Amino acid sequence: MIQVPKNLIAFSTDIGKKGIDDNLVVLLSGTPQRIYHDICDIIDGGDEFLKLNKNDTFIVASPVIPGTEKIANKAVNELYKTDSNIHVLKNKELCSMHASQEDIKVIIQIFNPTYFVPVKGEYQHFISNLEVAKNMAIKPENIAIIDNGEILSFKSGKLEDYRDTIEVEDVMIDGIGVGDVGDKVIDDRIQLSNDGVVIIGVTIDSKTHEIIANTDVQSRGFVYLRDSEHIIKGVIDIAEKCVSEMKDDPKLEAVEVRQNIKDKANKFIIKETGKRPVILPIIIEV
């Protein structure tokens, strides 16, 4: 946890001000994949306040985890193309975001639990935790490995052998009273109210990855489409070029293509209009 005195906390509007900007520290937080995408967004000019210059020092302290190698490499390369001072910490120099086996052993020693149930991570991590628990003298029958949708039942303090299951699927919620609203959510809502939203729909063949229908662009609260045909055409060209990369590279995931569309369309729209609408790319595979 980082504790900062209230009198030292700055606002985004302070960035770039003389006498303040030279002494500012800006922290980017989130998952490694999100952080690397944010770095690319900043470099592409997609951030309203953050602009890197030769007097800035940028420290990358986000570990490269499986699945983020491409975007991490892209972000670091783009950073080095700026005039800023870049320092990239290696994985061995960073603390793991997950508990080690020794950490788990310490927790078991402190709480001396009757039952042990790992609940977050890949299945392989559950099995590793199971072995740690066994070595800490927890009875095998008191260690439960569960999958998504499985229900553990306890009666009178004892684990029931029977496991019921529930159907697990995506649930759409309106956000009213569900969890805490973070800064990112607030920023998105402000962005929506100021600059609107642009939705880009591309339909492709699930096997060949070829575009099989006209790319559709819809906007709300952004611009009047009939008066901005060149912008819509530019967005369509960007989306179709990004999607065509899937045909050339079968390993390219749709999530990465959607992010590429978002980043490039965002940069194009800012250049053409000065606005930063929320961009929602949708790739439909049929």
Higher per-residue confidence, 116 vs 285: 116
3-state secondary structure (DSSP) of residue 274: coil
On whether the CB atoms of residues 234 and 200 are closer than 8 A, the answer is: no
Q: Are 133 and 177 in contact (CB under 8 A)?
A: no
User: Domain segments of the chain: what residues?
Assistant: 6-93, 101-165, 183-285
Q: Is 163 exposed, middle or buried (0-12, 13-18, 19+ CB in 10 A)?
A: middle
Residue 56 has phi, psi (to 5 degrees) of -85, 150
Question: Measured between alpha carbons, how far is 78 from 70 in angstroms, rounded to an integer?
Answer: 12
Distance of CA 104 to the CA centre of its chain: 27
Please name every residue paired with 217 in a beta bridge, in sequence order, or none if there are none: 200
- The backbone torsions φ and ψ at residue 215, rounded to the nearest 5 degrees and listed phi first, read -70, 130
Q: What is the mean pLDDT of residues 271-282?
A: 88
Residue for token pair 């009875």: 139
CB-count exposure of residue 212 (10 Å: 0-12, 13-18, 19+) = middle
Q: Are 76 and 82 in contact (CB under 8 A)?
A: no
Tokens found for residue 82: 């700026």
Helical ranges in 44-111 per DSSP H: 69-80, 101-111
187 vs 123, which has greater pLDDT? 123
Q: What is the pLDDT of residue 30?
A: 83
Residue whose tokens read 């149930």? 117
Q: What digits encode the pLDDT tens for the residues 203-259? A: 998 888 888 999 999 888 887 666 678 888 999 999 999 998 888 887 788 888 999
With CA atoms as reference, report the closest residue to 211 among 265, 263, 257, 267: 257
DSSP summary character for residue 23: G
User: Was domain 183-285 assigned CATH 3.40.47.10?
Assistant: no
What pLDDT is stored for residue 181 in this prediction? 55
pLDDT digits (tens, 9 = 90+) for 56-97: 999 998 878 777 888 889 999 999 999 899 999 887 777 766
Q: What pLDDT was estimated at residue 107? A: 93
Alpha-carbon span 103 to 129, nearest angstrom: 11
Specify the amino acid at residue 126. Answer: F
User: Which pTM was predicted?
Assistant: 0.43
pLDDT for residue 133 is more than 90? yes
